[in-house]
Structure 1
Amino acid sequence: MPSSCKEIRQELIDCMLKSNCVLVKRNTVAECFKKDKEGEVPEECQSIRKSYAECRRGMIDPRMRFRGNKTQ
C-alpha cells in the first residue's frame, strides 16, 4: 500500500538497530533519538527519520489525503 509508512518505519528501525548507540551502548531506539545531541545517531538514520516524519505528516494533511503520499 503506497499511502502507508510501514516500509519507511521498518527501514528506520533496521538502521537504528545497526547503529553504535543501540549495539555498543545498549540504549533503546527512543533513548538514542532523545540523546541525539551527542551525535550518536548516524546521518543516514536521521534522514530516514525525517522521511518518516514527512510521510506521517502527509497522512493527516487534508490535501495529501486526496493526492496520496509522495513515493521517492
Structure 2
Amino acid sequence: MSELKIVDTGNELRLLGMDEASKLLGIQKSTLYDMTMRRAIPVVKIGRLNRFKLSDLEAFINQNRQEAQS
C-alpha cells in the first residue's frame, strides 16, 4: 500500500493548533495533549502553546500504520 500524503495548499511551514491536529488525527484534544506529554508525537512549543507541523503529523500517521491481516 502507498503512504498517506496530506496535501497542504498553503505555506509549507504552516502550524496546526490542538483543535486542527486532533481533528486531522480523529482523536480528542486530551488524547493529543497526553501524546505530546509522553513525546509520542512531535510538537512545536511557542511559549505555552503546542503547535504541530503538518509534515510531522503525516509522518506519525505513516509510522503507525498497520496492514490488515488476511
**TM-score with structure 1 length normalisation?**
0.27
Higher share of residues assigned strand: 2
The structure with the larger Rg is: 1
**TM-score with structure 2 length normalisation?**
0.27
